[in-house]
Structure 1
Amino acid sequence: MHKTINRSVGGNITAFAILILLGTFMVLPLVYVVSNAFKPLEELFIYPPRFFVRNPTVQNFRDMVTVLAQSRVTFTRYLFNTVFITVVGTLGHLFLSSMAAFVLSRHKFPGKAVIFKLIVLSLMFTPSVTSVSSFIIISRLRLLDTFWAILLPAFQSTLGLYLMKQFMDTLPEAIFESARIDGAGEIRVYWQISMPMVKPAWITLMILMIQNLWNTQSPYIFSEQMKSLPQAMGQIIAGGIARTGVSSAVSFLMMLVPLSVFIISQSQVIETMSSSGIKE
């Protein structure tokens, strides 16, 4: 008995040590980006490079503001474009994918299995495979250089539909039958019963969509007035060695929003998964 307890404790310590080691390696790139953002130029060009900053400064951020001020389009316009695309694209995708998932999961109709197999099949293809056909479709719809050129592909992403459908399949059917017996319509069953129970799924999907849309650099946008913040930042980074400090500040700022959303939402996902749901 004593040996069994010792082995159990030893195994837990080993597993914990491995998790700490893996977690450290995952966090190190983020720490390095933050460190570089506050390094003066002499530390950025030093060889061999230093991991941590020794003389922190905000000069890189000042230089970034100066560069953006010289642009024909204001920084607030770039920021508005990015926030608009991220918010509308995320909400639209959550709404459409959850509604489609609810129908596929909780209703029976001819061709349901075929439709779901096609959805799974589409997950095998990367966006680059369909980029030419997507460009042709958007061009013929005359949506080039508009917000719709980014929003429509975001709305129809099959990853969210698959994730929501698989999560809804785990919900007990008795709950939905009870709601229908009590007189609840399909919209009420979807919104007031199904959506709260799949909160971990749509929060996870929200994180993925925000990360994707916030960092998007769409090839369908050409005019400076319609460009997003990542596209503007990409032009700054393309300045070469002369803008190394600015590039470090840009990388830090672009990472900040998705990371903040993930940190805030992660606790909600864990809490919801540990306390929600009814098991039969």
Structure 2
Amino acid sequence: MTAIPVTTPTASPRRARHRRSPWWYLGELLIWAFLIVMAIIEFAPISWIFATSLRNPADSFKLPPDFWPTAFHWENYLAVIQSPRIQFLRFFWNSLKIALLVTAAQLLTCSMAAFAFARLRFPGRDLLFFGFLSSMMVPATVTLIPTFILIRQLGLMDSHWALILPATTSAFGVFLLRQQFMSLPGELVDAAKIDGASFLRIYWQVLLPLVGPGLSALGVLTFLGSWNNFIGPLLFLRSWENYTFPIAIVNLQGYMGTGNRAHVLAGVMISIFPTLLFFLLAQRFVIRGIALTGLKG
């Protein structure tokens, strides 16, 4: 009796392809069109500021406005640096010093408080955290007068400490970093406790390096807020040598806005540079933080 060979069906090398409907392509096109329009809307004011900062003062109010440089008068930037109306290097250094100190202080205090709220257990923890969140609902302008009275009673008027101390921590920073700490697996803390690590060491060496994205985001937002702070220096500072760069830009406008518009916008472009540089530096730490949070099973 001869065996009949049985042939098994072989899988076809061609796989069935899922055809996308025309509506899918239309949706993608609409999304890209919307993103391009929004990018143009966001970029247009900066492009106009840069283009106008390189023009002659007489062409600053030209209509319709030109969003691309029509002239390249780089001496406008040199005129800002050497302007007799402001002490450029002093004002620039004052803003940079205050912004860096405030940013460093917030990263330290907010991360420590966020670690405590996320990983420590103590009576009244949730109630205290709710109080932090409630303070975010109070507008900053409401606290200006109490802050002014407190700063005056402490004898900190006309000093940079009047701008640094009230900004050493923030409820938003605590909330942001608490969410980052809570997203980390609890096995990391348990393993560190088994190895005999204290809570301070767990915070500093185990968990803090893993919240790089949150620290970078908070650092960028804090630096931007401190660098662009105008009402604070105007309210607490009195001496000319203590003023910051936003005050310098206002002084460039002159009385009743009669100053050189091209010089004013050149000063605005100079003020954008440190914030852009700070963002580019922090972006590297965001990528590193995302890479560090990848845990293998």
TM-score by length of 2: 0.86
Q: Which amino acid is 1:242 matched to?
A: G
Residue of 167, 172, 180 corresponding to 1:159:
172
Whole-Å Cα distance in 2 between the matches of residues 13 and 47 of structure 1?
33
Alignment of 1:165-204 (within 5 A): 165-204=178-217
Q: Residues 168, 279 of structure 1: CA spacing in aligned structure 2 closer, same or farther, 3 A cutoff?
A: farther
Counterpart check, 1:150 vs 2:166: no
Quick one: structure 1 residues 22 and 263, their matched pair in 2 at CA, closer, same or farther if it must change by over 3 Å? farther
Shift of 1:212: 1.0
**Number of aligned residue pairs:** 277
Residue of 53, 58, 71 corresponding to 2:69: 53
Equivalent of 1:96 in 90, 109, 129: 109
Q: Secondary structure at the match of 2:156?
A: coil
Tell me: CA distance 1:58–1:169, structure 2 relative to 1, closer, same or farther (3 Å).
same
1:65 positional shift: 2.9
Rounded Cα–Cα distance in structure 2 between residues aligned with 1:2 and 1:100: 51
User: Does the CA-based 8 Å contact 2:212-2:288 persist in structure 1?
Assistant: no
Distance 2:239 2:26 in 1: 61
**2:266 is the counterpart of 1:266:** no
How many percent of aligned residue pairs carry the same amino acid?
Answer: 27
Q: Is the 8 A contact 1:60 1:248 kept in 2?
A: no
Measure, in 1, the Cα distance between the counterparts of 2:126 and 2:211.
Answer: 22
Shift of 1:28: 1.6
Structure showing greater Rg:
2
Q: Larger deviation: 220-229 or 204-213?
A: 220-229
Alpha-carbon distance, 1:263 to partner: 3.5
TM superposition score normalised by structure 1? 0.90
Deviates more, 1:225-234 or 1:87-96: 225-234
Equivalent-residue separation in structure 2 for 1:278 and 1:136 (angstroms): 50
Tell me which residue corresponds to 1:249.
Answer: 266
Instruction: Give matches, 1:29-44, under 5 Å.
Output: 29-44=45-60
Q: Please state whether the residue corresponding to 1:128 is helix, strand or coil.
A: helix
Q: Is the 8 A contact 1:210 1:258 kept in 2?
A: yes
**Shift in CA distance, 20/176, structure 1 to aligned 2, threshold 3 Å:** same
Tell whether the 8 Å contact from 2:252 to 2:263 is kept in structure 1 after alignment. yes
The runs of 4+ residues in structure 1 deviating greater than 4 Å are: none
The alpha-carbon distance between structure 1 residues 227 and 279, as it changes in their structure 2 partners (threshold 3 A), is: farther
Structure 2 equivalent of residue 227 of structure 1? 243
